[in-house]
A and B are shown apart, each in its own frame.
Chain A
Amino acid sequence: MKAIEVKNLYFKYEKEWVLEDINFELEDKEFMAIIGPNGGGKTTLLKLLLGFLSPTKGEIKIYGKPPKENREIIGYVPQHTNFSLDLPITVFDIVLQGRLKKGKFFYSQKDKEKAKEILDTLNIYNLANKKIKDLSGGQRQKVLIARALVSEPKILMMDEPTSAIDPSGQKEILDLIESFEVTRLVVSHDIKILLRDVDKIAYIHKKAVIHEGPKLNIPKDKHFCEVELIEFLKDESCGI
C-alpha cells in the first residue's frame, strides 16, 4: 500500500488557488523533501495531508484512508512554535502529549520512559523540568520534534523543523530524520536538505514539480544541488 497518494489536488482559502493540480505518491518509508518559496503552499499542503484542511478538489489518501481517519499515525512538527508561552507546563509534559490517544486518560510508565528516551536522543533531557517559556526558540523546536517522535509515528511531517536550530544541531536533527525508518515529509528552506538521502523532492509553488528517481541519484555534490537541481525544478518546461 502507498503511504501517501495525492491526486489532482486543488485548494483555495478564498478566491485564488493556493495549490493547483498536485499529484504525487510516496511509498512506505520514503523520505520526501519539500522546498519552495515563501507563500508557495508548503504548509497548506501539510495541513491538507493532516486533514486540518479539506481539498477544494481532488483526493488524498494516507495509507489508503482519508487523512482525518488516519491522523494518529502521523507525527507532526508545526512551523510555528510560539504557543501559549505563559502556560505553566514543563517540557516533559509537552512531550508526553504525543502519547495521548482516544480512550486513554492517564500516562503509563511506558509513556514516561518513551518520553525520556526521546529527550535523551535529542540531547535535551536536561531541559525536561523547565517551563516552556524559559527555553530558546531552537530548544522549543526540539521539544516539538520530541513530541512528534514520541508517538512512534508511521509518517513524520515536519514543517521547517530546523529553522531556529544552530548548524551542529541541524546536522544532528537531519541525521536523525535520515535514520528513521518511517515515511517522512520535511519542509525546508535550507537547500542542504537535498544533499540528504532523500527519495523524492517536491518543489511547491502553487503547482508542484516532483523530482523522483530510484534513490534519486542526486550526486552528493553541492553544485548540483544548489544550482542545477533548483534550476531544473524551476525550469519553464516544468510548468512553473
Chain B
Amino acid sequence: MWDLISSSIYASLLLSIAIAVIGSLIVINKTTAITGSIAHGSFGGIGLALYLGSSVILTTSLFTALLAVILAVITIRFPHRQDSLIGVIWAVGMSIGIIFLSLTPGYQSDALSYLFGNILLVENKDLIFMGIIDLVILISIIFLYHRFLAMSYDREFLKLRGINADLLYTYFLILTSLTIVMSVRAIGIILILALFTIPALIAEKFTKRFFTMMILSGVLGLIFMVSGILISYYYDISPTPTIVIIASIILLLSLLKRK
C-alpha cells in the first residue's frame, strides 16, 4: 500500500507548506475571489500548453502569472469594480482553455483531469516543481513576513513607510498563481480554493499571531489531505472531494464551537 500512496503523502507534505503560508495570506488579505479567478483562469494556460505541445507546468506558470499581474492592476486601479472584473478574468481564462482544447483533438480527457486533479497520481516531476515553489514561498515569507502582515492590516500605512505596497501586493498574487500551478495536478482547479482557504479560516479563529495561524493552517491542511487520501484509498473514491468534505466538516464544527 505504501508504494501506492507514498508519492501522494510527499505531495501532501509539500502542499501543506504552501497551504500554511499562501492559504493564510489569502484569507487575511481577503483575496479569495482573486485566487478563484486565477485558479479557474489557469485552465487557459493548460489548454494553451496542450495546443502548443509545450510543457504544461511552464506554460501554465507564465499564463497564470500574467493573470495575476492583470488582477493586481485591476484591483489597485478599480477597487470599487473589482468583484465584477475578477469574474470576467475568471471566465476569460476558462474560455481560452476551452477554445484551445477544441482545437486540440484527443486531449479532452487529459484537460479534464486538471479540473479535479488526483493526488494519487502525482509524478516525480510534479513533486520537484512543488519543492521549488515551496522554497520560493519559504524564502519570501522569511523576508517579507512583516511587510505582508502590515499590507494585510493597512496598506496605506505601508506606503507611508516608503514601501511599495502595490508591488508587494502584485508579488503576492504572482506567488498565489505559482501555488495554484503547483497544486493543479494534485488538487484540481475547481477545489484548490477550498483546500487553501479552509485550514486558514479555522486557524484564524484560534490564533493570536499570524505566525501561529500559518503553522496551524499547515498542520490542518496536512491532516485533511492525509486522512482524505487514506479514506479515498480504502473506499476507492476520488481523493480531492473527500479532502474538501473532511475539511468542511471540521470548519463547520469550529464555527459552531465559537457560539
Nearest 6 interchain pairs by C-beta: A72-B162, A100-B161, A102-B162, A97-B150, A88-B207, A88-B213
Known: A89-B210, A90-B208. A147 touches B157 (CB 8 A): yes
Which A residues are CB-close (under 8 A) to B156? 52, 78
Residue interface bits B195-219, CB-to-A below 8 A is 1, else 0 = 0000000001001111011000000
Residue pairs across A and B with CB atoms within 8 Å: the count is 78
Task: Say if the beta carbon of A94 comes within 8 Å of chain B.
Answer: yes
Nearest B residue to A97 via CB reads B150
Could you show 17 A-B contacts with beta carbons less than 8 Å apart?
A71-B160, A74-B160, A83-B154, A84-B30, A84-B153, A86-B204, A88-B28, A88-B208, A89-B209, A90-B209, A97-B146, A97-B149, A97-B153, A97-B161, A100-B161, A105-B146, A106-B146
Task: Say if the beta carbon of A93 comes within 8 Å of chain B.
Answer: yes
A93–B161 touching, CB < 8 Å? no
Known: A88-B204, A88-B212. A83 touches B162 (CB 8 A): no
Which A residues are CB-close (under 8 A) to B208? 88, 90, 129, 131
Residue interface bits B9-23, CB-to-A below 8 A is 1, else 0 = 000000000000000
Known: A84-B153, A89-B210. A72 touches B146 (CB 8 A): no
Q: Is the interface of A mostly helix, strand, loop or mixed?
A: loop
Q: Looking at chain B, what size class is its interface with the partner chain?
A: 20 to 34
Task: Say if the beta carbon of A149 comes within 8 Å of chain B.
Answer: no
A52 to B158, alpha carbons, bound, how many Å? 12
Taking the closest CB of chain B, its distance from the CB of A228, in whole angstroms, is 37
Known: A89-B149, A105-B144, A107-B146. A100 touches B163 (CB 8 A): yes
Nearest A residue to B207 via CB reads A88
B144–A100 touching, CB < 8 Å? no
Contacting residue for B159 out of A71, A88, A107, CB 8 A: A71
A50 to B159, alpha carbons, bound, how many Å? 10
Contacting residue for B153 out of A71, A94, A105, CB 8 A: A94
B153–A83 touching, CB < 8 Å? yes
Taking the closest CB of chain A, its distance from the CB of B205, in whole angstroms, is 9
Nearest B residue to A131 via CB reads B208
A72 to B149, alpha carbons, bound, how many Å? 19
Known: A100-B147, A105-B144. A87 touches B153 (CB 8 A): yes
Task: Say if the beta carbon of B2 comes within 8 Å of chain A.
Answer: no
Taking the closest CB of chain A, its distance from the CB of B198, in whole angstroms, is 15
A76 to B204, alpha carbons, bound, how many Å? 28
A76 to B156, alpha carbons, bound, how many Å? 10
Which B residues are CB-close (under 8 A) to A50? 160
B153–A89 touching, CB < 8 Å? yes
Task: Say if the beta carbon of B143 comes within 8 Å of chain A.
Answer: yes
Taking the closest CB of chain A, its distance from the CB of B143, in whole angstroms, is 5
A132 to B143, alpha carbons, bound, how many Å? 24
Which A residues are CB-close (under 8 A) to B149? 89, 93, 97
A88 to B212, alpha carbons, bound, how many Å? 9
B157–A97 touching, CB < 8 Å? yes
A100–B159 touching, CB < 8 Å? no
A101–B144 touching, CB < 8 Å? no
